[in-house]
Every structure is written in C-alpha cells, then in structure tokens.
Amino acid sequence: MGLERTQRRKYLSVVLLAFLTSRVLFYWSGIRFDDRSLPWHWQFIDPYLLKTNLLESLYYLHSQPPFFNFFLGLILKLFPHDATLAFTFSYWMFGLTLGYSLFWIMTRLGVSDWLSMLLTILFIINPASVLFENYLFYTYLETLLLCLAAIFWMGFLKTGTFRDGFLCFLLLALLVLTRSLFHLLWFLVFPVVLLLAQSEKRKKVVLVSLFPFLLAFSLYAKNGMLFGEFVSSSWLGMSFSKITTHKIAAEERQRLVTEGMVSPLVLVPLFRPIKAYRGFIPPWTPTGIAVLDQEKKSTGFTNYNHIAYLEISKKYLKDALTVLHIHPEAFLKGQLHSYFYYFLPASDYVFLEDNRTHIRTYDRIFNLLVHGQYLMDDQPRLKEAGLGRKLLNISFFMVLGYSFFIFYGLFLIIRGLKRKPKDGFFPLTILFLWLNILYVTLVGNAFEVGENNRFRFLIDPFFIILLGVFLTYRFKVFKESNGLK
C-alpha cells in the first residue's frame, strides 16, 4: 500500500508539473486573466455596490443566485487595489484543485494511475480549460464544485462518515446558490438516491443533507417572500423566449400580436435596457434599494436586476408558453440550435475570443485531433453558414463519444446494481456522474440557446472519467483474452 501511494504521488507530481509548465507557456503565448467583464456582465451586481453594500445587494438579488457575486464582492473588498491578481490566483487554485480532483476520482474508480495521469493532463491542456480558467465567470467554479461533490459522494459511499456526506451536500447546495440551472429539485435527487439505495444509512443521509437543503431552500423561500416567485432566478421567461418566441419569424409574431394571442412585448428584443419596455409593463414604485432601483450600474451598463425585470420576464414567459402551444415546431427548432451549440468545442465561446486569438493555432489543432472539429468558423460566419458547413463545425468525436457514454454509463450502473455490491460504491458513483451528465444536457438545452457549449464544459470532466473507466475495462479484457498479465 505504501509503495502504491508513493507511485501515485509520482504520477500526481507529473500532473502538477504539466499544469505549471502549461500555464507558463500559455502566459508566454499571451494569455492573461480577463476580468474586464466585471463592469458589464449581466449576471454581476454593480461593482460599486459589491464594494460598498454587499449584503443588502445579495439579499435583494433576484436575477441570479448570490454565491458568485458574494465571491466577487469578497475579492473586491479584500483586495481593492489588486483584484485582478487575486482573481488570477484564485482561478489558478481552482485549476490545480480541478486537476487533482479528476485524477483522484479516476484512480479511486480503478483507472490505472498512468491513464488517469494522461487523461487529467489532456483536460488540463484543453484550450477550453485554459480559457475558462482565465475568464471571470462562474463556469470554472461550477465545474470544480461538481468534481469536489463527486469526491465527497464517493467518500460517503465508502466510509459513511458525517464529514464526507455533509461536505458533498454542502457543495451541491453551493451549486444551487451559484447557478439557476442547478434547481432545488436537482439537489433533492441525490439524497433520494441514497435513501433508496442504502436503506441502512437513511438516518445519516437525512442528517448530512438537511442543513445543505435548508441553505438551498432559503434562496427560493427568500425570493418567494420578497418577489412572489419561488425561483432562484427571475430570468426564466426571457431565456425560454429565446428558444420559443424568438424562433418564429417576426411577421408571425406580429400576426399573433394583431390577433391578440400574445402581448406586443414579443416584438421587443430580449434583454434590453428598461426604457425599451416602458409602455409594455405597469409603472413601478422605487423601492429605496439600489440594486433594485438603478436602471444602469455605476459603470454605465444596464442593471438586469432592476425590479421591473420581474414583470418583464413574467410576460415573456406567458407569451412563450402561448407560442409553444401554437408553434411547437419553434421549440423543436430551438432545440436543434441548442444541441448544435452544445457540441461545439467549449473554447468556441464568444466571450473567450480575446484570449483565444493568442492560441488559435493550438486551439485549431487540438479541436481537430481531440474533438474532431473539421472547420472552425468564427461566430458571424457560423450564423450565416448552411447546414452542411454548420455540421462540419461541430465536434464529431464528441457527438459520438457523448452518445456512447450515455449508454455505457447506464450499462455500468445497471450491471453494478444487479451484482448487489455491499456498499454500492462503484455503481452509485457512476450514477452520480451519469445523472449530472443527463441533467445538464437535457435541462440546460431545454431552456437556453446560444451558450450551450459553455454548459457542456461543466460535465466534460465526468465524460473523461467514464472514458478512463471504459479504456481500463477494455484493456483488461484485451490482456486477459491474450494471456497477458
């Protein structure tokens, strides 16, 4: 056991060396941490309020769950003159921890140390990993939280300790508090799985998940109490409208308005400044709360947490549901667009473009060889491209791989549970990965179009883990069938 640990540390040291070396090389190539999104990103509270009125602003935040804005505010308060450096260091730590987590999960699932090392390095040097690691947004943090939750899920299955269970569910709760994609019902799936699969641990499962659940529930309860909506984000109507209402022609929208089937609001582009919606919603009364009253942030950009967007989003949602009923094909069209974007390389995300230009040749080669992307058109050309050219832009290997591993993961779960292992460690770990893959894929694509490859990045590590398990299993079968040891 001691020799095995020493050997594993050597492989992990190679992972660490690969991370540090690659980051130096990428820095040399021109990659820099990009926090220029801080003044304008729709999801961010006004930086001035983050510095001067953090707690009140977080409490009255309805457009987004609050955790990432809490992180932003904390950095801005602690490092008012060196925020960029603090963000850079934080994201480097995220990257290091993410690499360690990926290696740890694979080795605990029986993937050989050398293969775990190679697959972890492949993820580390993935252009998307480098670019998201250098962009101020919550994507990289979400990916890390998912992997850390998987580690403590495995620990709880193996040891049943309160610490492992509590930390697992606390990390899941933090995901609910970070991104509206991770719904309260998504959180509840995991304690239910354990309650059904490990009846002898039922009391402990309730104990370890109760406080994290209440923490996640408190966000929904707060929004229900303050704003009359039991949600973690008030943007559902505007997001869903992108995939329904705004997938039908402008002429048809005008016809529906003329016939009184939908409101004139459907003629207004989504996510516009408040002045674009005056006349479409009732007047509102100032609340005296800056984060709800300011139409523009102190930086001059639109504040999408203004109190009026609650009513705007409700109207968009009502119209979107009407359009869904009248034109279900619009939703189908929206889904096709969502899955098309979903299978683009994650590095092909519009807000990463500034850094991406510094490694475009490397990105091109990596996406061709690893992802199977034949063409790499920029976004404007891609929007105008025909179907054939669009298909040549998707990651062909990823489409095949993801399709295969959805079924392979299910196969592992069913086979593992049929064998009725004592602790259910292996099949229940695969189930955790598989459920998250399925959830992000189906739910993420059902309510958003345009940024879907960014959503997929969250579960890329889980597919790499399944790839490691598959290769390990197939290699063992090969060795056994050929009399090798």
Predicted confidence (pLDDT) per residue in 340-396, tens digit: 999 999 999 989 999 999 999 999 999 999 999 887 777 667 776 677 787 788 899
Name every residue whose Cβ is closer than 8 Å to that of residue 245 and which is 6 or more positions away in sequence.
253, 262, 266, 316, 319, 320, 323, 330
pLDDT of residue 1: 57
Counted residue by residue, the chain has a size of 485
The answer on pLDDT for 485 being more than 90 is no
**Contact present, 4 and 327 (Cβ < 8 Å):** no
pTM comes to: 0.94
Q: CA-to-CA distance for 350 and 340, rounded, in angstroms?
A: 15
Confidence of residue 423 (pLDDT cuts 50, 70, 90): low
Query: Locate tokens 């832009």: which residue?
Result: 393
Q: CA-to-CA distance for 115 and 106, rounded, in angstroms?
A: 9
Burial 382-403 (b: 16+ CB within 10 A, else e): beeeeeeebeebbbebbbebbe
Report the range of poorest mean pLDDT among 46-50, 164-168, 420-424. Answer: 420-424
Confidence of residue 422 (pLDDT cuts 50, 70, 90): low
Two structure tokens written together for 274: 């408040």
Two structure tokens written together for 72: 């932003």
Confidence of residue 140 (pLDDT cuts 50, 70, 90): very high
- Average the pLDDT over 391-405 and give the result: 89
The answer on pLDDT for 479 being more than 80 is no
Q: CA-to-CA distance for 350 and 91, rounded, in angstroms?
A: 20
285 exposure class (CB count in 10 Å sphere: 0-12, 13-18, 19+):
exposed
* pLDDT digit string, tens, across residues 442-471: 999 998 888 899 999 999 999 999 999 999
